[in-house]
Structure 1
């Protein structure tokens, strides 16, 4: 990492309760986000210093943003700079807190009497709050956000932008929820903020996500909560109480690193009947790589060398790594059915169909003897996606990439429609 001197830190752009934002004098498209040792509650009605909080918060934020970025979520995060600071894209912040709730608790219960604590929202309950400390961050409706007509870095926040932030908030919550579940920890609710990248004019996840941003209940048990709510609930702030709060923050910062590690392995083995199918198989491998899946290419023919086909199968069954077999065979596809009849692992047919006989050849992949369960997917990209969906059931990092991909596809369609409508006016 570059030193502070090498970064050429310029003037302070903004200061909040728990962080400061500095410009980088020779890199106007970037900023330095410096955390503080301060902890607050109730819009700073309660405020204390907690030695080491800046480093803990920065570590948590950097790990969370790395997970989201590697999944495919667009964020302002660039890289960690020091124990207490990170570099981010310069953004004009949209003054709305997006809150997503999986479990009813806290302020939601006060605003919605009659709802019992622990009520589970499926789908997520979404709320918006206007950032206004003087008025205790009032809850806003979507209509109020649209009526405000925020204009930031050349982008006016309209219906399309609100829809993108709404959909992104859901995806971000679900990715972090899935990740925390690997640690037997329930992500109860979370608040995030978006900004407009001054260089690209894109809406990106910005600000920070640390232990001030969510409620975390190990084993789904509120009595074990590890988030800032412990500080909010203190009847008296004593040195002993602050040490307990700090230990909870450290617990989160230690475990958040584990969210970047896969909990289960998995791989895809592509079997091709001939090297003439190599281009088709390379497309499958490239798509697998985009999901973080190891992909191995092998050549074997179930018709011409069934014993070798079964030997290769046994090679990948014998090391205990969960495996998806993809059979690439045109004309008469015996490869997929033979594999499916001799392994308990999933088998996907992905035949390389040709214009001349493809309509007839595909039936050898579709019409199977009884007792065989291999699926048939014609697109190499789709075959890789299906393999990722299977492995994603036990590997949260693969699942997170799939979830982010869904979001990005939706956003691209939304933006394409917006552009088309603008051209039609």
Structure 2
């Protein structure tokens, strides 16, 4: 069989692996990368049912690229690099972990067969997570986490133990919840989905492989009768050209909807400083907030010395932004935060600047008059995190960045603990 020599301007090396719906090629000029080329092919039942479907490769490739762009915007570690042609994309080289990680929000499909007595549509809260060993000959049997740990898989020098399994479980559920929130913007219910992980050349576990309409169940308006995923194809006892056209039309609809899954609300975090002398403290708040993907403005005004001007600036932001948080930076007698809080329905966070009289000064931020609801934190990163939590109520990408940050912090602690356990005394 002959293979292409070049795709998207990239010279192809040897075929690394070929699956039912894609080929993976080495890239001699980019040793750390590989190229995944999709096929115009749709399969089900471990390949028992299979048909050519012209145009599917391009639809799947674009769907995958859009999904990974959403996930990468949250800071999640993935192997995806970029789309390089209508049917191909670049990926970091990984050794794939042979486990499918499945997350379910509603009980349906194979779950019902394996768990008689559970009614279809039973809602899992939190989402149900399951693992399956990739083995076509045995129809991908379900595995427990204990089986994965005891298999002692080793990829790119990394042994898959309990810590690694814990990370993949948490990341799997997080990926589902991110995409669930994204699809909710189009009134589509993400019912379940499967993902896979790989270990890159540096020994890091990353989300890998492909995420497209083969990977999930998606029900517009939460109605199973409106399903637009591969289950439509799986359910066909006979497959006509018209049936294949319907499947292709569904897949194309999904691809087009992904263009509308970005948050539409315009947010802003406004840091008011009572004096230019507080600029260094405010820049720290701004940096931490921007690292979380927040849009930040810095303003200088005094509630005591320029009350009317302070309220005028505040009003300008209220008139032009849907999701809005004010952060007040004022020492000594903090009138800035309480004045803002008393004149807006948006949240206000006090974050007084450092001072040798901090203990005395902070009481003006903590002891506010009745009827006011401004919060108080001391550290710049705490103010940024609190603002992100508030904005994240309306912007799922900001919410997701916080969740990814929590996941990475927990992982770094596990790594530190692991190193300590491995030290020889």
Alignment partners' CA distance in 1, 2:424 and 2:291: 35
Partners of 2:266 and 2:321 within 8 A in 1 = no
Alignment partners' CA distance in 2, 1:285 and 1:401: 16
Alignment partners' CA distance in 2, 1:327 and 1:135: 62
Alignment partners' CA distance in 2, 1:138 and 1:34: 27
Displacement, 1:291?
2.3
- The aligned counterpart of 1:315 is 316
Provide, for residues 315-347 of structure 1, a one-character-per-residue CA deviation record: whole Å limited to 9, x for no partner.
212224432111000111110001101111111
Partners of 1:353 and 1:361 within 8 A in 2 = no
Change (3 A) 1:376 1:142: same
**RMSD after superposition:** 1.2
- The aligned counterpart of 2:121 is 118
Alignment partners' CA distance in 2, 1:424 and 1:301: 58
Displacement, 1:389?
1.4
Alignment partners' CA distance in 2, 1:375 and 1:5: 53
Structure 1 window deviating more from structure 2 (392-401 vs 176-185): it is: 392-401
Provide, for residues 94-114 of structure 1, a one-character-per-residue CA deviation record: whole Å limited to 9, x for no partner.
000011111100000000000
Alignment partners' CA distance in 1, 2:9 and 2:222: 45
2:378 aligned counterpart, secondary structure: coil
Provide, for residues 274-293 of structure 1, a one-character-per-residue CA deviation record: whole Å limited to 9, x for no partner.
11111111111112212222
Partners of 1:10 and 1:25 within 8 A in 2 = yes
Alignment partners' CA distance in 2, 1:405 and 1:170: 15
Displacement, 1:135?
0.5
- The aligned counterpart of 1:97 is 100
- The aligned counterpart of 1:225 is 227
Alignment partners' CA distance in 2, 1:105 and 1:86: 32
Displacement, 1:379?
1.5
1:171 aligned counterpart, secondary structure: helix
Alignment partners' CA distance in 1, 2:424 and 2:329: 45
Displacement, 1:415?
1.6
1:318 aligned counterpart, secondary structure: helix
1:22-421 alignment, distance < 5 Å: 22-198=25-201, 200-259=202-261, 261-354=262-355, 356-421=356-421
Change (3 A) 1:5 1:119: closer
Alignment partners' CA distance in 2, 1:159 and 1:364: 49
Alignment partners' CA distance in 1, 2:120 and 2:150: 33
2:54 aligned counterpart, secondary structure: coil
Partners of 1:96 and 1:130 within 8 A in 2 = yes
Alignment partners' CA distance in 1, 2:174 and 2:396: 14
Provide, for residues 142-185 of structure 1, a one-character-per-residue CA deviation record: whole Å limited to 9, x for no partner.
11111211111111111111111111111111111111111111
Partners of 1:263 and 1:394 within 8 A in 2 = no
- The aligned counterpart of 2:3 is none
Structure 2: 5+ residue stretches without partners:
1-5
Alignment partners' CA distance in 2, 1:77 and 1:221: 32
Change (3 A) 1:185 1:272: same
Alignment partners' CA distance in 2, 1:424 and 1:351: 46
TM-score by length of 1: 0.97
Partners of 1:281 and 1:328 within 8 A in 2 = yes
Alignment partners' CA distance in 2, 1:228 and 1:365: 56
Aligned residues: 420
Alignment partners' CA distance in 1, 2:294 and 2:149: 41
Partners of 2:342 and 2:372 within 8 A in 1 = yes
Displacement, 1:306?
1.1
Alignment partners' CA distance in 2, 1:411 and 1:367: 38
Alignment partners' CA distance in 2, 1:300 and 1:379: 21
Partners of 2:80 and 2:92 within 8 A in 1 = yes
Partners of 2:7 and 2:88 within 8 A in 1 = no
Runs of 4+ in 1 over 6 A off after TM superposition: none
Provide, for residues 199-252 of structure 1, a one-character-per-residue CA deviation record: whole Å limited to 9, x for no partner.
x11010000000000101111111111110000001210011111111110011
TM-score by length of 2: 0.97
